[in-house]
Chain A
Amino acid sequence: VNNRLRELRAARRWSQADLADRLEVSRQTVNAIETGRYDPSLPLAFKIAEVFENPIESLFFTTQSSDHQP
């Protein structure tokens, strides 16, 4: 599963630690999700969607569907 976390975080000029603070997780976890080493649980994915005020399906997508992403 790919995601747009880094792109959205950069647009808000947040550091990984800033995002981690908002999600109440470690900076290491944000890094792991951004680099695709770890897929978050559903509760954390919903929290990410809430923080970025974006629907969850616009944040996470499979490799096949990534061609259709903006």
Chain B
Amino acid sequence: MTKQGARERKSSSDVARDHAALRDVVPALVALLILQGSLILSDPHGEVTVPYLLWSFSPLAPALWLVWAQLRSLRRADEYQRAIQLESMAIGFGAVILLALTGGLLDAAGIGDPRTSLQVTFIGGVLIWVGALMVKSSRTS
């Protein structure tokens, strides 16, 4: 039945939700890429000035925009989709806690670099969140 479902068209509420999610997420992603790219290109390679320090926080604005887009997506979702999205977030959150704890323990033992641990924690958490959502969605798609 899953294969039969995969051949079916989306419902009109699915299409409306997909379009709304794209409208929310794409501009935020473009802004994030532009700001992050400009930061990488404008690396001062020396003394960090206050304006540069403020500018270096600019990617937080589109990141906040993405969080807002995720909240809107959660509100638009129907009850089943909301349940699997929240379960996937809980799994991702658990992964972040475990990875952060592992990084902290490694740091306490004098092994590894805290910056690398932070990057692994962030990327790992997001990947596990998205992976869990894909697995849960595939069971009923």
Contacts and interface: CB of A to CB of B under 8 A. Distances in A.
Interface stretch (A34-42, A48-56, A57-65): A34-42
Contact of A29 (B8, B79, B139): B79
Contacts, number: 69
A21 B13 CA distance: 7
Contact of A28 (B1, B9, B12, B80): B80
A4 B17 CA distance: 28
B79 A35 contact: no
Given A20-B13, A32-B140, A35-B140, A26 B81 contact: yes
A28 B137 contact: yes
B5 interface: yes
Contacts of B139: 37
B11 interface: yes
Interface residues of A, number: 22
B5 A26 contact: no
Interface residues of B, number: 21
Interface in A1-43: 15-17, 20-21, 24-35, 37-38, 40-41
B11 A44 contact: no
For B77, B79, B80, the residue with the greatest tally of chain A CB atoms inside 10 Å of its CB is B80
Given A25-B79, A38-B83, 13 more contacts: A16-B5, A17-B10, A24-B78, A25-B11, A26-B11, A26-B17, A27-B8, A28-B81, A30-B11, A31-B141, A38-B140, A40-B79, A41-B79
**Which 9 A-B residue pairs are closest in the complex by CB-CB distance?**
A20-B11, A29-B80, A32-B140, A25-B78, A31-B140, A27-B11, A17-B11, A26-B14, A17-B9
Interface of B: 1-2, 5, 8-14, 17, 77-81, 83, 137, 139-141
